[in-house]
């Protein structure tokens, strides 16, 4: 170890394991070089000479060149790197180590362990520097710490799957199209409403979806119904409700799923059939993977932190934010303009949908002119915008849903849905389209 004397030698590494791994690559380059390449990042080899030699071997294999002491020395000479790695003698020594190729994974584990320790040290040093930077707002420092640690944890999966090639992506797309065509796979996450799904093609992971409407117009009911249907299919659901309590969310799910009158849930002396229905609905809901956060003063940074933590344990299939204008601004935000404040929250929600890789439904109120309240940015950020039209424009026991924006299909269509206010439930008008 003392032979590799560098200014920053305090960073951990295992020179012997690095050389053994390169030796394995010369014995069986067809298997070992792809194995090494599966490790993310270009900092696997700490010793510069080893890093250069492996890079040359990878280039040679890509060019279908044979790899041995002679060809490797020639390649390094032509690239001008031979002297930097110690000359032909150093290359010959590495290729003559001849370790057992069967031990390659063991050598790789030793090398990746040191790689991860170096990353931990580097990350921790950088975070200490940021913590000492008094010019950075506390919330920004906290988010950068969390992002850095999250990235560090993800990078600990040292033997990562190779990135999908273009050809593999095309084949995957072909399989996806065939499955959608045959009806064995939904193009996106279903809303549970056939008339809506046929227009939007389902909800696409990574998209922000805005449901806008007047106060009491059914925004929350529609969002929670969609969330409940997906939860019944096994999806993990994360709900940020800044207006309702967790108990109120449960009440609505019991009413919607169990067919129980929502108002009656708050009244004494339940009839026997209502006790049975509510009990059965609670039993079904208890098995669902739904996370409800009813904090009333949550900031965008806090929401993204909660989403990351939930997603790390199991992939989150859908996030619901009820509603966007109630999200608290960052404490360090000195923005006095309400529209810009809400715009920043909207952009944060959009970024969260991309980061977590799931649809994010944000609810928004409409102003007196029928436009999204406080910020045009919400409509701009949304890939899909749905407006629940005022009740005076609808017949009894119906609601009209305007597809105000749809980047993946047609917009401007108006869907008429059946509305059961007692059970806070939307249904397709045709019985053939009733959600399962």
Position 351 pLDDT exceeds 70: yes
pLDDT band at 367 (very low <50, low <70, confident <90, very high): low
Q: According to the model, what pLDDT value does residue 392 have?
A: 78
Q: pLDDT by residue (tens digit) across 142-158?
A: 777 777 777 776 666 54
Q: Contacts by 254-258 with C-beta closer than 8 Å and gap 24+?
A: 254/278, 254/281, 254/282, 254/285, 255/422, 255/423, 255/424, 255/425, 256/221, 256/224, 256/225, 256/228, 256/423, 256/424, 256/425, 257/228, 257/232, 257/281, 257/284, 257/285, 258/282, 258/284
Rounded average pLDDT over 99-122: 84
pLDDT band at 374 (very low <50, low <70, confident <90, very high): low
132 plus 217 within the same structural domain: no
Q: In this structure, what CATH number is given to the domain that contains residue 135?
A: 1.10.860.10
Q: According to the model, what pLDDT value does residue 5 have?
A: 42
Domain boundary among 106, 127, 155: 155
Q: pLDDT by residue (tens digit) across 156-171?
A: 654 444 455 677 778 8
198 plus 315 within the same structural domain: yes
Greater pLDDT, 130 or 9: 130
Greater pLDDT, 395 or 293: 293
Tell me, yes or no, whether 5 lies in a domain: no
151 plus 200 within the same structural domain: no
8 A C-beta contact, residue 271 and residue 220: no
212 plus 296 within the same structural domain: yes
Q: According to the model, what pLDDT value does residue 1 have?
A: 39
Position 297 pLDDT exceeds 70: yes
Letter string b/e over residues 227-255, b meaning 16 or more CB atoms within 10 A of that residue's CB: bbbbbbeebbbbbbbbebeeebbbbbbbb
For residue 28, count CB atoms less than 10 angstroms from its CB and return exposed for 0-12, middle for 13-18, buried for 19 or more: middle
Counting Cα atoms < 13 Å in the Cβ hemisphere of 406 gives: 20
Greater pLDDT, 75 or 133: 75
Tell me, yes or no, whether 206 lies in a domain: yes
pLDDT band at 336 (very low <50, low <70, confident <90, very high): low
122 plus 232 within the same structural domain: no
Q: pLDDT by residue (tens digit) across 198-208?
A: 899 889 888 99
Tell me, yes or no, whether 6 lies in a domain: no
Q: Which residues contact 369 (CB under 8 A, 6 or more apart)?
A: none
139 plus 224 within the same structural domain: no
Q: According to the model, what pLDDT value does residue 154 have?
A: 64
Q: Which residue has the tokens 């996370």?
A: 291
Greater pLDDT, 412 or 95: 412
323 plus 367 within the same structural domain: yes
116 plus 57 within the same structural domain: yes
Q: Which residues contact 11 (CB under 8 A, 6 or more apart)?
A: 46, 118, 121, 122
Q: In this structure, what CATH number is given to the domain that contains residue 301?
A: 3.40.50.300
Please provide the average confidence, as pLDDT, over all residues in the chain: 83
Q: Is the whole model's pTM more than 0.75, yes or no?
A: no
Q: According to the model, what pLDDT value does residue 324 have?
A: 83
Among the residue ranges 65-69, 359-363, 397-401, the one predicted with the least confidence is 65-69
Kindly report the three-state secondary structure assignment for every residue of the chain.
CCCCCCCCCCCCCCHHHHHHHHHHHHHCHHHHHHHHHCCCCCCCCCCHHHHHHHHHHHHHHHCCCCCCHHHHHHHHHHHCCCHHHCHHHHHHHHHCCCCCHHHHHHHHHHHHHHHHHHHHHHHHHHHHHHHHCCCCCHHHHHHHHHHHHHHHHHHCCCCCCCCCCHHHHHHHHHHHHHHHHHCCCCCCECCCCHHHHHHHCCECCCCEEEEEECCCCCHHHHHHHHHHHHHHCCCEEEEEECCCCHHHHHHHHHHHHHCCCCHHHHCCCCCHHHHHHHHHHHHHHHCCCEEEECCCCCCHHHHHHHHHHHHHHCCEEEEEEECHHHCCCCCCCCCCCHHHHHHHHHHHHHHHHHHHCCCEEEEEEECCCCCECCCCHHHHHCCEEEEECCHHHCCCCEEEEEEEEECCCCCCCEEEEEEECCCCEEEECCHHHCCC
Q: According to the model, what pLDDT value does residue 157 have?
A: 53
Position 9 pLDDT exceeds 70: no
Tell me, yes or no, whether 44 lies in a domain: yes
Tell me, yes or no, whether 169 lies in a domain: no
196 plus 150 within the same structural domain: no
Determine if residue 192 is left, alpha or beta; phi over 0 gives left, psi from -120 to 50 gives alpha, anything else beta: left
Instruction: Give the chain's domain count.
Output: 2
Rounded average pLDDT over 253-275: 88
Q: Which residues contact 110 (CB under 8 A, 6 or more apart)?
A: 14, 17
Q: pLDDT by residue (tens digit) across 197-245?
A: 989 988 988 899 999 988 888 899 999 999 999 999 999 999 999 888 9
Q: According to the model, what pLDDT value does residue 203 have?
A: 93
Q: pLDDT by residue (tens digit) across 376-387?
A: 788 888 999 999
Tell me, yes or no, whether 121 lies in a domain: yes
Q: Give the whole-angstrom CA distance, residue 265 versus residue 268.
A: 8
Position 125 pLDDT exceeds 60: yes
Rounded average pLDDT over 390-404: 86
227 plus 360 within the same structural domain: yes
145 plus 227 within the same structural domain: no
Phi, psi (5° rounding) for residue 92?
A: -60, -40
Tell me, yes or no, whether 399 lies in a domain: yes
Q: According to the model, what pLDDT value does residue 2 have?
A: 39
Domain membership of residue 258 as a residue range:
191-433
Paired tokens of 359? 């649809």
381 plus 249 within the same structural domain: yes
Q: Which residues contact 80 (CB under 8 A, 6 or more apart)?
A: none
Tell me, yes or no, whether 163 lies in a domain: no
Tell me what percent of the residues of the chain surpass a pLDDT of 90: 26
> Does the N-terminal peptide bond of residue 323 adopt cis geometry, omega within 30 degrees of 0?
yes
Position 432 pLDDT exceeds 50: no
Name the residue among 94, 366, 147 with its Cα closest to residue 85: 94
Q: According to the model, what pLDDT value does residue 223 have?
A: 95
Q: pLDDT by residue (tens digit) across 301-335?
A: 888 888 988 888 889 999 999 888 888 877 655 55
């Amino acid at each position: 170890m003392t032979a590799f004397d560098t200014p920053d030698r305090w960073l951990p590494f295992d020179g012997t394991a690095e050389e053994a791994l390169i030796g394995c690559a010369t014995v069986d380059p067809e298997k070992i070089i792809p194995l090494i390449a599966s490790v993310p990042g270009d900092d696997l080899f700490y010793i510069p000479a080893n890093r250069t030699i492996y890079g040359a071997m990878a280039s040679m294999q890509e060019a279908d060149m044979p790899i041995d002491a002679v060809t490797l020395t020639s390649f390094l000479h032509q690239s001008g790197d031979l002297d930097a790695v110690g000359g032909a003698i150093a290359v010959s020594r590495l290729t003559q180590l001849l370790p057992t190729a069967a031990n390659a994974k063991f050598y790789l584990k030793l090398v990746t362990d040191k790689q991860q320790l170096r990353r931990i040290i580097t990350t921790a040093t950088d975070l200490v520097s940021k913590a000492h930077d008094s010019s950075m707002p506390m919330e920004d420092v906290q988010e950068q710490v969390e992002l850095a640690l999250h990235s560090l944890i993800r990078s600990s999966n040292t033997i990562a799957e190779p990135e999908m090639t273009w050809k593999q992506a095309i084949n995957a797309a072909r399989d996806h199209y065939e499955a959608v065509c045959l009806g064995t796979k939904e193009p996106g996450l279903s809303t549970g409403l056939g008339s809506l799904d046929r227009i939007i093609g389902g909800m696409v992971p990574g998209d922000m979806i805005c449901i806008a409407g007047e106060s009491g117009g059914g925004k929350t009911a529609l969002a929670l119904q969609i969330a409940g249907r997906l939860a019944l299919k096994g999806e993990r659901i994360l709900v940020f409700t800044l207006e309702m309590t967790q108990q109120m969310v449960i009440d609505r799910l019991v009413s919607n799923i169990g067919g129980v009158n929502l108002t009656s849930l708050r009244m004494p002396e339940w009839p026997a059939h209502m006790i049975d229905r509510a009990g059965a609905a609670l039993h079904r809901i208890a098995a669902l993977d739904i996370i409800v956060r009813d904090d009333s003063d949550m900031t965008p940074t806090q929401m993204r932190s909660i989403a990351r933590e939930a997603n790390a344990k199991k992939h989150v299939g859908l996030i619901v934010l009820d509603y966007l204008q109630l999200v608290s601004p960052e404490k360090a935000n000195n923005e006095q303009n309400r529209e810009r404040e809400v715009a920043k929250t909207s952009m944060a929600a959009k970024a969260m949908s991309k980061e977590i890789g799931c649809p994010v439904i944000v609810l928004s109120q409409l102003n007196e002119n029928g436009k999204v309240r406080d910020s045009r940015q919400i409509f701009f950020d949304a890939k899909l915008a749905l407006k629940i039209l005022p009740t005076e424009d609808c017949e009894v026991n119906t609601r009209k849903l305007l597809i105000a924006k749809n980047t993946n299909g047609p917009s401007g269509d108006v869907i008429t849905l059946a509305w059961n206010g007692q059970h806070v439930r939307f249904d397709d008008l045709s019985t053939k389209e009733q959600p399962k």
